[in-house]
Structure 1
Amino acid sequence: MMSKLYNAPVQVELNSQQRPVRLRWYNKWYAITCCTPREEDQHWWSKLRNPEPLRYRCECEEGMICDLYFSDPPGVWILERIFD
């Protein structure tokens, strides 16, 4: 599976478990149907020192598959990549 790297801030709505349920990309809202934490994407060395943010693999109703993470600071959600 190929992907394109964006690393762009996006608006995200969360459910009661604090997982993404909708994201806004280029002024369009995408409903997220499946959101899975991706802990295996973290490098082992970053877990020892400065933990990387937890990434989520999200599938949207519109067919988009992407990776999101919460960057703190500055306290924003980042659309890391979109898969083809």
Structure 2
Amino acid sequence: MTLAGYVVALLTGLERWEKNGEGRHAFPDARLAGYVTDLAAPAAAITSSLDGDRRLAELLLGTRLASHSGGAIAYVPTRIAD
């Protein structure tokens, strides 16, 4: 998730989603890999125990990224489409 272009939280495990009758999506396998605890002096809290999640969180949290907003959450793909 980004705030003004800065990564403030990182969710992983978004490969599978479900849609309800109201058009809302849920990600049943989502994991919070980490989040930023202070925006003035970014400090990251890493929450996942999975190595891949931890590496992504350490790499991305507090950095500035171009993202695609789908509403309250902005998405950044981790793979380039073919």
Indicate the TM-score class for this superposition, using the shorter chain for normalisation: under 0.3
Under a length normalisation based on structure 2, what TM-score does the superposition of the two structures give?
A: 0.25
Higher relative contact order at CA 8 Å, sep ≥6: structure 1 or structure 2?
A: 1
User: TM-score with structure 1 length normalisation?
Assistant: 0.25
